[in-house]
């Protein structure tokens, strides 16, 4: 066995992935590691999917329930969804095969705020966890577990599961050891106490997971990279959105007298948030921090440029080139990065205390500033709410960004009414597109509508929105937030019937 497994008792449990997968039974609930394509198990889920396919071919039903941190990779969600092996999935998915199964009605999906997953699992109504399958980067001589490139819900899964299967991945950098802060002070009400974190770089826990070695039924060695989706270089739209946000932050810092380090940044995943991070390198801010969910390429660049002092998160989400660079230079980032459980990285108490600047993507927003982050045409899930709600409601300011149109202009991202609500207007303070930025703080619904249409809507849709607002002002039941119920979702209906929202 490898030098990564330094505990004799656990080294004796090393086996192959197929033997480990054979310990999982039909109907089991599995707690798997993994968050935005990092730190997920890469061998056991593939072996389990093969076993499920063989059982199905023999006419035997075999499906399992899968709980994770957030999205994983093709070896987990992809392989297992393809095998029709997942009957229930939570809490966040971005795998295209799993998405297709969910939208075809063949897989149940429970999408919730990422900070809620661990406490809700403890509360017990989600059911019992049979097996945890968790990737780690090593095992200490004492039998503690060195976490991998994501922490997610692993602490909770290791505690709740009857049995534990570990994957020890030697692809992960040994320098990850020491970058984690695993907090063991959480409890359910009425015993919950304040979380003692007042700065993004506070260490409040320990570097390793505890584990009862008696629960470990198998240890599998791997040497496999994280999924690491590439970023496309920012296009003009992304650059325009980023520039609008940077202007706003500069103005807001001056207006509110914020320090040169600003306030801790939270940035969602995707090309546009990554472009915003790239743009922040050029700003006058210095010594910034991030209290966020994932560490993307842009944040590592900011650390190297000296503009970002440190980042606290629960996972990496890097391009393949950046992941390789990080693995080779991890030592350099040791004092700059902290990975925490997701019920801490996304904790509303901490986001509110620190005053995070929340920056997330959206699918559509309506003229009153309600935001849909998850469902295309109200019914087709894209990914999930992820951590956007944890940060949007509780941050110092909540910014949502999007190109003003989708699908080559056939869809307006600004609509009379959102077809699904993830973030109510009270949780949405700024909306920004490549057209401009609407600062909605302190505005009434009618004032918000005017500003969003003027600043954010695409010129091809602006007259249609103005016309709707004028008619709503006449025909509405009330004049606080004028609307025409029979028409408010007609743009979506038109798209479904004709392929375009354009009249």
One character per residue 291-310, x = contact with ligand 0RQ (rule: CB under 6 A): --xx----------------
Q: Segment contacting ligand 0RQ (CB under 6 A): 1-9, 268-276, 334-342, 462-470? A: 268-276
Locate 205 and state its tokens.
């826990």
Catalytic annotation, residues: 293
What letter does residue 231 receive in the DSSP assignment?
A: P
Q: With binding defined as CB under 6 A, does residue 268 bind ligand 0RQ? A: yes
- Supply 417's token pair: 């009414």
Measure the CA angle with vertex 278, ends 306 and 290; round to 5°: 60
- Give the contact letters, 271-290, x = binds to ligand 0RQ (CB under 6 A), - = no: -x------------------
CB of 68 to ligand 0RQ, least distance (A): 11
Of the listed pieces 79-87, 131-139, 304-312, 358-366, which binds ligand 0RQ according to CB under 6 A?
358-366
- Closer residue to ligand 0RQ, CB minimum distance, 126 or 269: 269
- Identify the residue among 364, 366, 427, 434 touching ligand 0RQ (CB under 6 A): 364
Check binding of 319 to ligand 0RQ (CB under 6 A).
no
Give CB contacts under 8 A, 24+ apart, made by 320-324: 320/225, 320/228, 320/230, 321/230, 322/228, 322/297, 323/225, 323/226, 323/228
Comparing CB distances to ligand 0RQ, the nearer of 28 and 343 is: 343
Direct distance between the N- and C-terminal alpha carbons of the chain, in angstroms, rounded to an integer:
66
Site string for ligand 0RQ, 18-47 (x = CB under 6 A): ------------------x-----------
Site track 80-99 with ligand 0RQ (rule: CB under 6 A), x = hit: ------------x-------
* Pair 168, 10: CB distance under 8 Å: no
Contact mark string toward ligand 0RQ, 226..265, x via CB under 6 A = ----------------------------------------
Rg from Cα positions in the chain: 23
- State how far the Cα of 288 lies from the Cα of 286, in Å rounded to an integer: 5
Q: Does 431 bind ligand 0RQ (CB under 6 A)?
A: no
166 or 295, CB closer to ligand 0RQ?
A: 295
Q: For residue 189, how many other CB atoms are within 10 A of its CB?
A: 7
Give the bridge partners for 365, in sequence order: 371, 414
Q: Is 144 exposed, middle or buried (0-12, 13-18, 19+ CB in 10 A)?
A: middle
* 343 forms part of the interface with ligand 0RQ (CB under 6 A): no
* Burial group, residue 312, by CB count within 10 angstroms (0-12, 13-18, 19+): buried
Q: Which is nearer to ligand 0RQ, 333 or 491 (CB)?
A: 491
- Show contacts with ligand 0RQ in window 370-409 (CB under 6 A): 373, 376, 382-383, 385-388, 403, 406-407
Q: Which residue is nearest to ligand 0RQ (CB)?
A: 386
Instruction: Rank residues 192 and 352 by Cβ distance to ligand 0RQ and give the closer one.
Output: 352
**Is residue 23 a contact partner of residue 131, using CB atoms and an 8 Å limit?**
yes
Taking the complex as a whole, the smallest distance from the CB of residue 175 to ligand 0RQ amounts, in Å, to 24
The interface region with ligand 0RQ, picked from 83-91, 249-257, 267-275, 282-290 by CB under 6 A, is 267-275
State which H helix or E strand residue 97 sits in: helix 96-103
Task: Using alpha carbons, select from 69, 94, 224 the residue that is nearest to residue 81.
Answer: 94
Restricted to residues 42-81, the positions that interact with ligand 0RQ (CB under 6 A) are 70
Stated length of the chain: 503
Tell me the closest approach of the beta carbon of residue 103 to ligand 0RQ, in angstroms.
12
Residue 330: count other Cβ atoms within 10 Å of its Cβ. Answer: 17
Alpha carbon 71 to its chain centroid, in Å, reads 7
Q: How far is the CB of 423 from ligand 0RQ (least distance, A)?
A: 9
Nearer to ligand 0RQ, 300 or 385 (CB): 385
User: Could you tell me the smallest distance in angstroms from the CB atom of residue 270 to ligand 0RQ?
Assistant: 3
Pairing of strands 163-169, 357-361: unpaired
Q: How far apart are CA 311 and CA 377, in angstroms?
A: 36
Contacts of 419 (CB under 8 A, 6+ apart): 364, 372, 375, 377, 378, 379, 489, 492
Q: Which residues bind ligand 0RQ (CB under 6 A)?
A: 36, 70, 92, 268-270, 272, 293-294, 360-364, 373, 376, 382-383, 385-388, 403, 406-407, 411, 413
């Amino acid at each position: 066995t490898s030098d990564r497994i330094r505990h004799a008792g656990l080294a004796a449990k090393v086996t192959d992935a197929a033997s480990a997968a054979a310990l999982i039974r039909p109907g089991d609930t599995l707690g798997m590691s993994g968050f935005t394509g990092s730190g997920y198990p890469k061998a056991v889920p593939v072996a389990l999917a093969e076993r499920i396919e063989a059982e199905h071919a023999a006419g035997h039903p075999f499906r399992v329930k899968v709980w994770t941190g957030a999205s994983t990779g093709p070896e987990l969600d992809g392989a297992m969804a393809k095998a029709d092996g997942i009957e229930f999935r939570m809490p966040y998915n971005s795998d295209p095969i799993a998405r297709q199964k969910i939208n075809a009605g063949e897989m149940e999906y429970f999408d919730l705020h990422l900070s809620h997953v661990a406490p809700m699992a403890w509360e017990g109504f989600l059911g019992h966890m049979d097996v945890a399958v968790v990737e780690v980067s090593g095992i200490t001589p004492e039998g503690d577990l060195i976490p991998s490139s994501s922490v997610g819900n692993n602490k909770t899964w290791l505690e709740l599961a009857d049995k534990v299967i570990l994957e020890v991945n030697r692809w992960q950098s040994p320098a990850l050891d020491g970058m984690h802060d695993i907090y063991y002070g959480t409890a359910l009400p009425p015993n919950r106490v304040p979380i003692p974190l007042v700065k993004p770089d506070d260490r409040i826990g320990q570097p390793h997971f505890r584990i009862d070695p008696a629960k470990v039924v198998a240890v599998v060695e791997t040497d496999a990279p994280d999924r690491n989706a590439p970023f496309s270089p920012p296009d003009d739209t992304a650059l325009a959105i980023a520039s609008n946000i940077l202007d706003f932050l500069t103005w807001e810092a001056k207006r509110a007298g914020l320090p040169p380090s600003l306030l801790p940044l939270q940035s969602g995943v995707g090309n546009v948030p990554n472009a915003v991070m790239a743009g922040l390198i050029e700003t006058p801010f210095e010594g910034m921090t991030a209290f966020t969910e994932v560490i993307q390429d842009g944040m590592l660049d900011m650390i190297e440029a000296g503009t970002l002092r440190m980042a606290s998160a629960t996972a990496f989400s890097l391009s393949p080139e950046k992941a390789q660079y990080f693995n080779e230079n991890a030592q350099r980032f040791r004092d700059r990065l902290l990975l925490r459980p997701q019920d801490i990285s996304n904790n509303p108490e901490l986001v509110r205390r620190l005053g995070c600047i929340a920056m997330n993507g959206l699918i559509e927003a309506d003229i009153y500033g309600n935001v849909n982050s998850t469902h295309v045409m109200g019914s087709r899930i894209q990914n999930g709410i992820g951590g956007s709600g944890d940060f949007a409601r509780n941050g110092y300011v909540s910014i949502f960004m999007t190109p003003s149109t989708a699908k080559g202009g056939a869809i307006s991202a600004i609509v009379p009414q959102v077809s699904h609500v993830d973030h109510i207007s009270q949780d949405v303070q700024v909306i920004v597109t490549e057209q401009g930025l609407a600062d909605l703080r302190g505005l009434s619904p009618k004032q918000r509508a005017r500003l969003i249409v003027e600043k954010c809507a695409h010129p091809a849709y602006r007259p249609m929105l103005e016309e709707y607002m004028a008619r709503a002002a006449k025909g509405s039941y009330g004049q606080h937030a004028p609307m025409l119920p029979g028409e408010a979702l007609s743009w979506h209906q038109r798209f479904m019937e004709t392929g375009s929202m354009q009249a």
